[in-house]
């Protein structure tokens, strides 16, 4: 088996020898030999009116319909110190990069493969991390100002392996296109986080009876450079803050937290949008009401209570804050575009699944567009909020082209849909079934 570098769910290089060009397109590949581009062009009038998640992967290669905007030349590979070249840049200001699914094949996601999501400018690395200060104020009896060294000495650290996921993960699957970085499934990773339980620090500060909500602040400057503006300031109900797995983190995979991932101090609030896990953390203010900071109002990190017409104008009064993330599963091996030897009749699959605050009850896979399903085997998580690694074996009837689908079901019985549903202007909750294409022979 030879794996090709996966660039996009809609770019399918199927070539067992030729390397990819920087744009992700093979110099000499399967598409040219069987004219799938031509086939894609033939179905373009139909495919332009369908969600991309139900168009066959090969057809998604085709030319755009007449009058459609020109497509970009291809995803750009990230070039950043300490990061794998295979990460894909979604935005440069602020820097945003996702991890293709096949690079998420490790049980613990290495720092080099972990996705990047910034909201403001990248602050300079701390010259003395232990002197970094965190303030706890607001609706507390005892205002705290603690250095990182004092946090480490005063409280007992915990280490958990937990999924961190961008709130917009899966945004590219919505039609019409939603605003924001066009994530596929790569806005997620599962690292080992070491830090102090947030609940213990809040208990030390002494929460007043009026304490209802947190408000988070960091050292990342606003993109405009305006010092009166926060790049982001989100918060959560006190109940979520008091969960034992909500951490003030200073280590990632046993190493000091890298600057690009919020070092020397950040929050990790598992199961909820990654924007709550504030990077370069400097202050947590406890409020007597729902926080209204940057990223908390309008349609930002909010989804409609009542389904809205896709592409229509939002009624902001009908929106609720996005909290627990939806169930999702991905195939991490084989990679999209893998070519297998002729005569292969069995393919071994690996992947990962997670479900926000809930747990994953099962993962199923299919090679016939969901007409029949085969149940995978789930490995138990190490702790709550860890992802479930899963495996499955599929039988193939012949040589040829196959698409492998995966869907996960959460502990409440909800499963991944075939298309992105509950359209919203910011594209949250796009947890469509993941698919990879393989060619046998």
Can you give the CATH number for the domain in which 365 is found?
A: 2.60.40.650
**403 and 314, same domain (yes or no):** no
Q: Higher pLDDT residue, 263 or 50?
A: 263
**162 and 310, same domain (yes or no):** yes
Residue 420 pLDDT more than 60?
Answer: yes
pLDDT at 279 (0 to 100): 98
Q: What is the mean pLDDT of the chain?
A: 87
CA–CA dist 264, 119 (Å, integer): 17
**330 and 374, same domain (yes or no):** yes
Number of H helices, E strands in the chain: 5, 24
Residue 278 structure tokens? 């504030």
Assess if residue 153 is contained within a domain. Answer: yes
Backbone angles phi and psi of 426, in degrees to 5: -100, 0
Domain that holds residue 299: 111-321
The predicted model gives 180-203 an average pLDDT of: 98
Could you list the beta-strand ranges (E) of 183-241.
188-197, 213-218
321, 337, 364 - which closes a domain: 321
**249 and 392, same domain (yes or no):** no
Residue 189 pLDDT more than 90?
Answer: yes
How many domains are there within the chain?
2
**235 and 150, same domain (yes or no):** yes
pLDDT at 202 (0 to 100): 98
- Reported confidence tier of residue 4, pLDDT bands at 50, 70, 90: very low
- Reported confidence tier of residue 422, pLDDT bands at 50, 70, 90: very high
**277 and 209, same domain (yes or no):** yes
Q: Higher pLDDT residue, 296 or 34?
A: 296
pLDDT at 74 (0 to 100): 67
Closest CA to 90 of 12, 29, 22, 172: 172
Beta strand 133-138 with 281-287: parallel, antiparallel or unpaired?
parallel
Phi-psi region of 82 (alpha: psi -120 to 50; beta: other; left: phi over 0): left
3-state secondary structure of 140: strand
**338 and 317, same domain (yes or no):** no
Phi-psi region of 36 (alpha: psi -120 to 50; beta: other; left: phi over 0): alpha
The predicted model gives 347-352 an average pLDDT of: 98
272, 296, 321 - which closes a domain: 321
Residue 30 pLDDT more than 90?
Answer: no
**279 and 132, same domain (yes or no):** yes
pLDDT at 418 (0 to 100): 96
On whether the CB atoms of residues 47 and 39 are closer than 8 A, the answer is no
Q: What is the pLDDT of residues 367-412, one digit of tens each?
A: 999 999 999 999 999 999 999 999 999 999 999 999 999 999 999 9
Assess if residue 30 is contained within a domain. Answer: no
pLDDT at 54 (0 to 100): 52
Q: What share of the chain is helix, strand, coil (3-state, %, to 5)?
A: 15, 30, 55
Start-to-end Cα distance in the chain: 11
Buried b (16+ CB within 10 A) or exposed e, 201-213: bbeebebeeebbb
pLDDT at 75 (0 to 100): 79
Residue 294 structure tokens? 């940057």
pLDDT at 88 (0 to 100): 98
Assess if residue 12 is contained within a domain. Answer: no
Assess if residue 37 is contained within a domain. Answer: no
**163 and 306, same domain (yes or no):** yes
Question: Which residues fall within 8 angstroms of residue 64, CB to CB, at 6 or more apart?
Answer: 44, 48, 70, 71
Residue 272 pLDDT more than 90?
Answer: yes
Assess if residue 285 is contained within a domain. Answer: yes
The CATH code of the domain that includes 226 is 3.90.420.10
CA–CA dist 142, 202 (Å, integer): 10
- Reported confidence tier of residue 20, pLDDT bands at 50, 70, 90: very low
3-state secondary structure of 161: strand
Unique residue bearing structure tokens 């770019």: 11
**295 and 369, same domain (yes or no):** no
Strand partners, 407: 364
Handedness of CA 227, 232, 236, 241 (dihedral sign): negative
Assess if residue 427 is contained within a domain. Answer: yes
DSSP 350: E
Phi-psi region of 25 (alpha: psi -120 to 50; beta: other; left: phi over 0): beta
CA–CA dist 44, 63 (Å, integer): 7
**251 and 130, same domain (yes or no):** yes
**186 and 204, same domain (yes or no):** yes
CA–CA dist 441, 438 (Å, integer): 10
Q: Within a 13 Å sphere around the CA of 340, how many CA atoms are in the beta-carbon half?
A: 20
Burial of 92 (0-12, 13-18, 19+ CB in 10 A): exposed
CA–CA dist 439, 345 (Å, integer): 12
CA–CA dist 117, 100 (Å, integer): 15
The predicted model gives 296-303 an average pLDDT of: 97
Q: Of all helices (H) and strands (E), which one includes residue 198?
A: helix 198-205
> What are the start-end ranges of the H helices in 58-125?
none
Question: Which residues fall within 8 angstroms of residue 381, CB to CB, at 6 or more apart?
Answer: 161, 359, 387, 388
Assess if residue 88 is contained within a domain. Answer: no
321, 341, 364 - which closes a domain: 321
Edge-first strand listing for the sheet containing 360-366: 338-340, 434-440, 400-410, 360-366, 374-375
pLDDT at 55 (0 to 100): 55
Buried b (16+ CB within 10 A) or exposed e, 379-398: eebbeebbbbbbebebebee
Q: Higher pLDDT residue, 360 or 58?
A: 360
Assess if residue 393 is contained within a domain. Answer: yes
Q: What is the pLDDT of residues 103-157, one digit of tens each?
A: 999 999 999 999 999 999 999 999 999 999 999 999 999 999 999 999 999 999 9
Weakest mean pLDDT among 25-39, 72-86, 290-304: 25-39
pLDDT at 289 (0 to 100): 98
On whether the CB atoms of residues 159 and 250 are closer than 8 A, the answer is no
């Amino acid at each position: 088996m030879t794996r090709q570098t996966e660039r996009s769910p809609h770019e399918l290089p199927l070539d067992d020898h030729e390397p990819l060009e920087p744009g992700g397109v093979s110099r000499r590949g399967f598409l040219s030999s069987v004219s799938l581009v031509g086939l894609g062009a033939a179905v373009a009038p139909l495919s332009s009116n369908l969600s991309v998640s139900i168009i066959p992967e090969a057809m998604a290669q085709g030319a755009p319909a007449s009058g459609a905007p020109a497509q970009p030349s291809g995803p750009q590979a990230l070039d950043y110190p300490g990061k794998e070249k295979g990460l894909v840049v979604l935005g440069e200001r602020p820097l945003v990069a996702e991890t293709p699914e096949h690079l998420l094949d490790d049980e613990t996601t290495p720092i080099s493969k972990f996705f990047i999501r910034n909201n403001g400018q990248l602050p300079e690395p701390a010259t003395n991390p232990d002197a970094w200060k965190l303030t706890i104020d607001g609706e507390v009896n005892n205002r705290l100002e603690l250095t990182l060294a004092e946090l480490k000495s005063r409280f007992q650290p915990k280490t958990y392996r937990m999924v961190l996921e961008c709130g917009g993960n899966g945004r590219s699957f919505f039609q019409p296109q939603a605003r924001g970085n066009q994530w596929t499934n790569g806005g997620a990773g599962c690292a080992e986080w070491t830090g102090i339980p947030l609940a213990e620090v809040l208990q030390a500060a002494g929460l007043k009876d009026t304490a209802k909500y947190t408000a988070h602040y960091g050292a990342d400057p606003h993109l405009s450079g305006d010092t009166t503006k926060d790049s982001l300031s989100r918060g959560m109900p006190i109940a979520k803050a008091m969960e034992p797995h909500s951490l003030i983190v200073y280590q990632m995979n046993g190493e000091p937290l890298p600057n690009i991932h919020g070092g020397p101090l950040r929050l990790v609030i598992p199961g909820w949008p990654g924007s709550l896990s504030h990077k370069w953390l400097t202050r947590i203010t406890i409020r007597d009401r729902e926080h209204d900071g940057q990223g908390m109002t309008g349609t930002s990190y909010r989804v409609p209570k009542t389904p809205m017409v896709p592409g229509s104008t939002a009624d902001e009064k009908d929106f609720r804050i996005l909290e627990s993330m939806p169930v999702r599963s991905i195939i991490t091996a084989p990679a999209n575009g893998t070519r297998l030897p002729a005569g292969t009749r069995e393919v071994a699959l690996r992947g990962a699944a997670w479900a926000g605050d809930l747990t994953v009850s099962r993962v199923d896979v299919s090679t016939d567009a969901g007409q029949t399903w085969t149940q995978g085997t789930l490995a138990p998580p190490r702790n709550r909020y860890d992802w479930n690694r899963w495996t499955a074996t599929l039988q193939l009837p012949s040589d040829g082209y196959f698409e492998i689908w995966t869907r996960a079901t959460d502990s409440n019985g909800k499963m991944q849909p075939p298309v992105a549903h509950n359209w919203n202007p910011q594209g949250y909750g796009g947890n469509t079934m993941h698919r990879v294409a393989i060619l046998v022979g």
